[in-house]
Structure 1
């Protein structure tokens, strides 16, 4: 469990958010097809935007009602620090590119961020019905089962992941991704490169994967997984080893027995 200051979610907030995210997940599931939709870039982008719009129509109002003093972070691809206070950072279709291509790695996420620290999150996988939740200071769960990160201590035995945060990143970021994958292929056991980040981070929180890193500050792809991993006993920092928050420019979440070794490999590339 995280050592961060506990968050008082009250008696109903987590259940209200879970209900809203599950309802949104039903909308996204109903839009799913097992085949790819769209051929041209314009067609693919239109499908992605249609997914976002349909889910946000279901999700936004109940979240704002559940936490009336909160604010809404509009751009799901935005990064950097948020203004003070409480903000909903939502991805209506985390893994949207997978959804529109008929693949099954996608979810709906909603995370409450307080003064740039994630304090409550719900990640729902509509195709399986699984729901991951975490509250700062209250642990992380898959459905009703507590989550715990991997007990591994040998990076050479580790299953590690990374991925691209968004389309159109700069060439330097792409080269850093490539260099870091090579370094981890040399030092780890297996490197998994896929999108979206949240779908890898839930595996880190559940102890199925051992670490995940990303050269990115895209909030919506990291806040949910950061809280889930930290509340499951993992270590979440930037690539300088400092505690991660939404202002950090890069990201590492790992089992505590592997974090230092992973950081040693990645820090020179960052």
Structure 2
């Protein structure tokens, strides 16, 4: 009697295969970001900050020195982990990238805080594929926390799933914004000021601070409810955009259209207050 042929395995879909590959890459990225964080923590001198960063030239020099020291241990492992990926060199640049894979990295996200002896800084590494962030690690060296996300696989804090806020009332919301780079144009500064005034009226509390990523991890974790920025600086947005989206949040521009790297502005919010936040921010010109 002929044997019954075994059933053929079900084909693996392209999205599922990409998710498996990206999750497999996560450990390598985390190890590289940890090594970079160790280097940045070694350079942290809160009690000496006022002495070594007293002038603009000294602040700029300290910022560049941090970047150079951290990139020395971060860049090579990431490029080795994904040899086909290119490196986005200018961390203050914005706009869409050419097709393919890119590492968008901030070796000292919140560098200005680090230089001034404040604790709000981190190291971030995000893999962008065809202008979509697909994997990110945000490491906070002073606490040891890792915020990670893989597209389609959820967002996590130290391995525990993250979820955005369940609030539905903008009047009860904690929101935030800030500038993206030094020397923004006057219109951008006026928009920031106007948006803060409008959101203070509509919401509960507005936090104005830098860097963007450290505000966005709070949105992803449900600690705050929305963050917006009138900027396209990709290194400050891609990590948080993926974390918030994978934690169940809405990521758009301030008019409610889907956010892309080409968008001129940015809004990430809990779904229950997103529409109300758009109503407030879309009137800012």
TM-score by length of 2: 0.92
1:86 and 2:101 aligned: yes
Shift of 1:245: 1.4
1:16 and 2:28 aligned: yes
Aligned length: 266
Distance 1:184 1:222 in 2: 21
Which residue of the partner structure matches residue 238 of structure 1? Answer: 253
1:151 and 2:198 aligned: no
SS at match of 2:272: coil
- Deviation >2 Å, runs of 4+: 5-9
User: Superposition pairs for residues 18-167 of structure 1, below 5 Å?
Assistant: 18-35=30-47, 36=49, 37-167=52-182
Shift of 1:221: 0.3
Structure 1 contact 25–125 (Cα < 8 Å) conserved: yes
Distance 2:254 2:204 in 1: 20
Distance 1:12 1:262 in 2: 37
Greater mean alpha carbon deviation, residues 10-19 or residues 133-142: 10-19
More helix as a share of residues: 2
Point out the structure with max Rg over C-alpha: 2
**Residue segments in structure 1 that go unaligned for 5+ positions in a row:** none
Which residue of the partner structure matches residue 203 of structure 1? Answer: 218
**Residue segments in structure 2 that go unaligned for 5+ positions in a row:** 1-14
Distance 1:148 1:15 in 2: 22
Shift of 1:98: 0.1
Return the structure number with greater relative CO, CA threshold 8 A, min gap 6.
1
Distance 1:66 1:60 in 2: 10
2:266 to 251, 262, 265: 251
Distance 2:242 2:260 in 1: 10
Kindly tell me: are residues 246 and 9 of structure 1, through their superposed partners in 2, closer, same or farther at Cα, counting changes over 3 Å? farther
Shift of 1:8: 2.5
Distance 2:253 2:200 in 1: 20
| CA RMSD in angstroms, aligned pairs only | 1.0
Distance 1:241 1:181 in 2: 18
Shift of 1:9: 4.8
CA deviation profile, 1:104-133 (whole Å, cap 9, x unmatched)? 000000000011110000000000000000
Structure 1 contact 9–135 (Cα < 8 Å) conserved: no
Distance 2:218 2:281 in 1: 20
CA deviation profile, 1:62-82 (whole Å, cap 9, x unmatched)? 000111110000000000000
